[in-house]
Amino acid sequence: MKKLVYILISILVLNCSCKKWIDPSMNVDPNNPTDVSMAQLLAPVEANLAFEVGGELARYTCDWMQHITGLQSQAADNDIYTISEADVDGAWSYNLYTPGMIDTKILMDKAAETGSPYYEGVAKILMAYHLGVATDMWGDVPYSDALKGVTNVLKPKYDTQQEIYASIFTLLDDAISDFGMASSVFSPGDEDLIYGGDLSKWEKTAYALKARYSMHLEKRNGSTAYSDALAAIANSYTSNSDDFKFVFGSALNNSNPIYRSEQDRAGYYSACATFENMLSSTGDPRQPVYFTGAVGSIPGQPNASASSIGPGYASATSPVYLISYAEIKFIEAEARYMLNNADPLAVTAYNDGLKASLQREGVFGDGTWFNANLITSGTITLEKIIDQKYLSSFLQIETWTDWRRTGYPVLSLATGAVTSQIPRRLPYPQSERLYNTENMPAGLTITDRVWWDAAK
């Protein structure tokens, strides 16, 4: 009987004190940390953004913009504008929002909590960029009600594109203010794979993005958009060394997204005849950087003999350009020309943009081709500005925005197209329709216009 009492007492003691007796740290998996430092967040956010912008989204939009052509399977379908809600799930759910914007929001919050405005400014620029990509691809997207974690809002409302643009400009202005603070507990350094912690270049990037996004609103804001862009450009990039670009590594899991795509699905994409012909018409020296030859495939008419994407953009270590000095000079040329088509500085900006592009690609040489292809006050037009910007922005999704804004370059519908127009937006992803139906805009097709793309 006494033995039984001891056993019962022992069981009661164990049941009552197990929380104290078992060390809680025994259940912590060291391989799955619940928290990371800002330094550990920054590089993955940058790499993920560049991988998505320079990879999947570029393959869709630059196919439609006839930089490249899809030859087989899903790429050939995309060539004739076949794209489903399931096709874009990865870009939305597993890149831009998770981990993209979620990790960027964590970085912003950590910076604010630790009194680190320099880190906070960088995070705000990265958030503005993510938002810009998302809204320019889809239109209305979740933001103000999103990024709050699974315990808060699982079905966030959508902000209008007009509201998203207001948020973008606020983020960029706040970032500029953050860089003006006298001190910061923590500051980005070598873990910043884009600028190595150079805050002056991050500040220039904030202004560069203000210029880009101001131009996106020209159908809504008219001349104010051009004036706003020029005001931002005054504090923006001054040379190719300022370019906002991400350089990938030689290891396969660290390599350029187009290279990865070509390794996984060789022969899916080739040069497009539209782009090749524009380059060939002037003997453009960038052609061998962009492609392995001069043969293109007509959209909707796969040509297995067409040239492949060239070493400058499809090697393991090829950079992805997020925004560049060349783009800024073409923005300046457009803004000045649209405000006053006799402004000589519009001509200067155009020629500076062309020169910057040639130098960036390493083909300026002795300047012979450049001097033969300069623009003058008597030959400058909006079409020529946008066409040259297009030729200088190979595999950059910004060309889709420029085409939607201006109608240039003039592109023909793909042979066998499943729509009567070139797409003007991406379909919302399947995951949103299934799990956020009450908030996702309904009834839209890929040929419907986003808010800033107002019909003139």
Domain map of the chain by residue range? 40-260+270-430
H or E element in which residue 46 lies = helix 38-53
SS3 assignment, position 193: coil
Beta-carbon count within 10 A of 132 CB: 23
Quick one: how far is CA 294 from the chain centroid?
Answer: 28
Q: How far apart, in Å, are the Cα atoms of 26 and each of 30, 153, 197, 220?
A: 10, 32, 38, 59
Q: Read off the pLDDT of residues 417-445 as tens digits, 9 standing for 90 and up.
A: 999 999 999 999 999 999 999 999 999 99
Can you give the pLDDT at residue 154? 84
Can you give the pLDDT at residue 149? 74
Q: Read off the pLDDT of residues 364-375 as tens digits, 9 standing for 90 and up.
A: 999 999 999 999
Q: State how far the Cα of 286 lies from the Cα of 369, in Å rounded to an integer.
A: 11
Is residue 409 within 8 A of residue 127, CB to CB? The reply is: no
Per-residue pLDDT of the chain (456 residues; tens, 9 = 90+): 444 444 333 444 444 444 444 555 556 666 666 788 999 999 999 999 999 999 999 999 999 999 999 999 999 999 999 999 999 999 999 999 999 999 999 999 999 999 999 999 999 999 999 999 999 999 999 999 999 876 667 899 999 999 999 999 999 999 999 999 999 999 999 999 999 999 999 999 999 999 999 999 999 999 999 999 999 999 999 999 999 999 999 998 899 999 999 888 888 999 999 999 999 999 999 999 999 999 999 999 999 999 999 999 999 999 999 999 999 999 999 999 999 999 999 999 999 999 999 999 999 999 999 999 999 999 999 999 999 999 999 999 999 999 999 999 999 999 999 999 999 999 999 999 999 999 999 999 999 999 999 997
Can you give the pLDDT at residue 279? 98
Which one, of 366, 372, 365, 335, lies nearest residue 351 by Cα? 372
Can you give the pLDDT at residue 92? 97
Question: Residues 6 or more apart from 395 whose CB is under 8 A from it?
Answer: 54, 58, 62, 67, 68, 258, 309, 313
H or E element in which residue 244 lies = strand 244-247
Q: State how far the Cα of 302 lies from the Cα of 70, in Å rounded to an integer.
A: 7
Please provide the CATH number assigned to the domain covering 40-260+270-430.
1.25.40.390
Can you give the pLDDT at residue 267? 85
